Amino acid sequence: MIGAALAVHRELGAGFLEAVYHAALKTELVARRIPFRSEVGLAIFYRGAPLKLGYRADLVCFDALLVELKAQSAVGVNEQAQVLNYLKASGLPRGLLLNFGAPSLQIKRFVHSSNL
């Protein structure tokens, strides 16, 4: 997954909107035969009941890795909290935050455990 993201950043560089990187990364994942789902809906529960709104994860790869894409000059605690909340909502154990907006691809790895 990271190799695919690096290839996209190497080809496009920084400066495009997030949607461009999303489309390019999906093309790269298909070329590399990496299984993924795009714009995956995540239900949010409050006191055991589903809320009428939810989140959408940019990508889920291998049915085990949540991938959130950004195209900003930098990412901070808000974007990191977003990934952690997506992991909690999805029940997936691992996540990646990929920021294509910086001169070098920024990669942040996350591990979520309900035991923490």
The mean of the pLDDT values for the chain is 94
State the pLDDT at residue 100: 98
Q: Which residues contact 100 (CB under 8 A, 6 or more apart)?
A: 5, 8, 9, 12, 14, 16, 18, 21, 69, 70, 71
Q: What's the rounded mean pLDDT across residues 73-88? A: 94
Q: Three-state SS for 42? A: strand
The span from the CA of 102 to the CA of 15, in Å, is: 8
- What structural domains and CATH numbers belong to the chain? 2-111 (3.90.320.10)
Taking only the tens place, the pLDDT of each residue in 28-53 is 999 999 999 999 999 898 998 989 88
The model's confidence at residue 113, banded by pLDDT at 50, 70 and 90, is confident
pTM exceeding 0.85: yes
- Among residues 87, 78, 82, the alpha carbon closest in space to that of 60 is found at 87
According to DSSP, the residues that pair with 80 across neighbouring strands are none
